[in-house]
Amino acid sequence: MKSRTFNAKQTTAGALAALMLALTACSGGGGNSNSSNSPSQEPEQSGQTAEGGKQQGGKFNLWLGWTMTVNNDSLIQKYWRENEPFVDVQIESTQGDASTALNLKLNTGGFEDAAIFGRSDVINTSMIRSGTIQPLEQYFNMPDKYPGLASIPKEYLEAMKDKDGHIWSIPTWFDQNPQDPWPGWASLGWFVREDVLEKAGMKKEDLATIEGVETYLQAASQQTDASGNKLIPLGFLSDANDENVILSTFGVSTGTAGGVIPVEKKGEDYQFIYDNPQYKAAYKWMNKMYREGLIDKEAITDKKERYKEKNQSGRTAMNAGGFFNMDAQIWEVLNGPTAPAWYYQTIPYPKVSGVDKIGINQIVNPYPGDDVYISKKSKNLDAILAFFDYSLQPKPEMQQVIDGGPPGTYWDWVDQPLGKWHYIDDNYQQLHDSGDASKKASTTPELYAASSYSNEWYPWWNYEGTDNIAGRQKTIDFTTAIGKMGAIRVAEPYDMVKSEPGSLWEKYLPELENVRKEYKAKLMMAKDDNAFEAAWSEFQSALEKRAHWSELKDEWHQLLSKQFGE
């Protein structure tokens, strides 16, 4: 199943800043008018061959802007070669840091055929400035030849046009119906171990306030795990910004819909995240908990695998953050109380005195989450367009089709289309669900990001296997409950304000992110109240001196007016 955060795609702001500088120097600020700013001549196409009376659409290399285990002989890729869309998709995964890899690729001639990246203004600008990609707007207006591409909602395409009307990527992973969007996986919340809660002599209702949470954490700190080690009272994965849940609890909104900064409308004005006084209050609470030994001492430095291991082994009494970061599979494989993960339950955001409404940490954004760029030097344009025309068919089940083949191959409907589904190939299911990355890669490249989705039907809320394994139902119950807690809303224009080439946001956003990361650690781990106040003062100074915070806010209002007429 796919978490919209899709953390494997995230890139570091510092590296992206270096990337931008390198590419700007390399391309001379955008290339000449005969390259990056003008439609390229259609490259030479690979020949098509007939097999079994059907046309073969050629092959192409697809470079992924994230790391994953690759097996280019997977069953789904074999299906694509031999059946619809008759294209051989050869995948190349990014190794190591994605921005570093992109920098290297673009400065050494670019990628071979096509590349798919999580949507990013920095990456998009870098791709265009490199002069190595081709504009694609003409292919969205050929319904007879490319009906899938022509079906992309026009508002998405209009928003992608540059000043000359060029569209430089194929958008993917968008809602097929922006007027009735799928709400997504609501995964950000508070999670408590009910077995630990019971041993503490408490009930879920006792956690209704932040003071009640503190009482529980104190009690949990005296309990031990199966190995006799003291429990970690509260854990979260700061590397994935899980502390946003705590910020939300204190009334701070942290979500955007691809915009440069989290913002909330206050009357006729707007409040930026770092100007909300509750931002300081939230970190003051985290610092208090940290100093009392109630927050995991490794919360700032932990990586995902280590964090997952702590949760799976039963070392953590309470979690704040995303349950996909916790690793939903640790309970999804269970059918009863056979492991600590079975006892996880979500609770409402605890009440904080003076906070009338929790902050927003997830925004429903129907707009594309990924972009496919095509190299100017590719000789396989037809194959690339054929594949994405296939993957972007406006069918509610299309993400399931791209991930696991069409119904009747390795899965099928239980009784009727768009109802429950189940696997019909035991070998495929055993490999896919083995928990072994290499075995799973032999079944599918998991390219659902190359498709789109629909509120009409979502596969992992309609999987028949969930009926037989109680742990899988827990994930659905979690997301259903969290979705009603008030931390989610639909995107507004101010959530989508983007930087523009040459803007202050393009120049200083990487440093703003560096400042945030640096001082969230200093604030959380300050040794006493005086050190916390000193760190807060330094943070305010760094915002202005290093990130030009006031100037950025002024320009944000200009960009809002320019981009949305507000």
- How far is Cα 514 from Cα 87, in angstroms, rounded to an integer? 42
Q: What's the mean pLDDT in 166-183?
A: 94
Per-residue pLDDT band for 146 (boundaries 50, 70, 90) equals very high
Predicted confidence (pLDDT) at residue 97 exceeds the cutoff of 60: yes
One of 3.30.70.1400, 3.40.190.10, 3.30.70.3040, 3.90.1150.10 is the CATH number of 59-176+368-462, namely 3.40.190.10
CA atoms within 13 A on the CB side of 208: 3
**Which one is predicted more confidently, 164 or 51?**
164
Cβ-contact 353, 32 below 8 angstroms: no
**CATH architecture for the domain at 182-365+464-496:** 3-Layer(aba) Sandwich (3.40)
- How far is Cα 114 from Cα 111, in angstroms, rounded to an integer? 7
Predicted confidence (pLDDT) at residue 53 exceeds the cutoff of 70: no
Q: What's the mean pLDDT in 47-66?
A: 67
Q: What's the mean pLDDT in 343-372?
A: 96
Q: Which residues of 473-489 are buried (b: 16+ CB within 10 A; e: fewer)?
A: ebbbebbeebbebebbe
Predicted confidence (pLDDT) at residue 5 exceeds the cutoff of 80: no
Cβ-contact 337, 193 below 8 angstroms: no
Tens of pLDDT, residue by residue over 217-231, are 999 999 999 999 999
Q: DSSP secondary structure string, 217-280?
A: HHHHTT-B-TTSPBPEEEE--GGGTTTHHHHHHTT-----SS-SS-EEEETTEEEEGGG-HHHH
Residue given tokens 């900064």 in the structure block: 261
- How far is Cα 502 from Cα 30, in angstroms, rounded to an integer? 11
The mean of the pLDDT values for the chain is 89
Give residue 56's pLDDT: 55
Q: 114-118 and 370-374: which strand pairing?
A: antiparallel
Per-residue pLDDT band for 460 (boundaries 50, 70, 90) equals confident
% the chain with pLDDT above 90:
79
Give residue 98's pLDDT: 78
Give residue 57's pLDDT: 67
- How far is Cα 24 from Cα 499, in angstroms, rounded to an integer? 16
Predicted confidence (pLDDT) at residue 260 exceeds the cutoff of 50: yes
Cβ-contact 485, 348 below 8 angstroms: yes
Q: What's the mean pLDDT in 85-93?
A: 97
Q: How many residues does the chain have?
A: 566
Tens of pLDDT, residue by residue over 477-501, are 999 899 999 999 989 999 999 999 8
% the chain with pLDDT above 70:
90
